[in-house]
Amino acid sequence: MVVVTGVLKEEIVGVFRELLPLLENGELIKRNFSRGIIGGNEVVTIYGFIGKVESAMITQAIIDKFNPKYIIHCGSAGAIDPNLKIGDIVCGTTYYEHDFQGGNIMPIEASNVLLEKIADVYKYVAFGPMVSGDLIVSDKKMKEMLYDKYKALAVDMDSAAISKVCKENGVEFCSLKVIVDTSEEQAHTEYEQNFRKFSSLPSTIVSELLDKHIL
């Protein structure tokens, strides 16, 4: 089984609309999920969480209920790499909690299988580190610090937490995101302008992956 997650409904719609047949609609910790088939894969979509705590909570609940082999997290992110532009697609190869102050921060690796499949179905993906924290980065100096420290492509509020729970449970994971802001002072305005235009792109790529490959 493959589970596709997103913070908001728009971020999983590319997969949700391809669930044919649709086998089940349900609720898990007050979040809506749908289960169906894409290609030769049994797929669950679920959304409705923000920040590291909620992300970790729902990820563990997903694993306990569905015992998936793969979790793919889709959605939007802010650019850290200065070469990235609005609308670019990024895929995390390693994940860090940039706001964790408890000692050495060890990266968590993404699934090589998922990275290979994503590269096969979509040629314009930037692969590299992603960082997560419980704050929206909207400051150029902080953006530059995160790039200098981690060489990160992008920042979000969830991927690193999901990756940690997946690692502890032996579930393969990757996060596929679209850049909707530049993580500088105008980030909130950019997000409002770009989210609806671009947010479904990662899940549309994942639906193509699921249709082409059996995971």
DSSP label at residue 124: -
Whether the CB-CB separation of 53 and 29 falls below 8 Å is answered with no
Alpha-helical regions (H) of the chain: 13-16, 51-66, 112-121, 140-150, 159-169, 187-198, 201-212
Mark whether 181 is an active-site residue.
yes
Nearest CA among 30, 28, 25 for reference residue 60: 28
Catalytic residue among 18, 81, 88, 181: 181
Calculate the CA 158 to chain-centre distance: 7
Q: What are the φ/ψ torsions at residue 132 (nearest 5 degrees)?
A: -135, 150
Catalytic residue among 10, 11, 97, 158: 11
Specify the 3-state DSSP secondary structure of 138.
Answer: coil
Nearest CA among 51, 47, 3, 7 for reference residue 29: 47
Whether the CB-CB separation of 200 and 18 falls below 8 Å is answered with no
Rounded Cα gap, residues 75 and 191, in angstroms: 12
Catalytic center residues? 11, 181
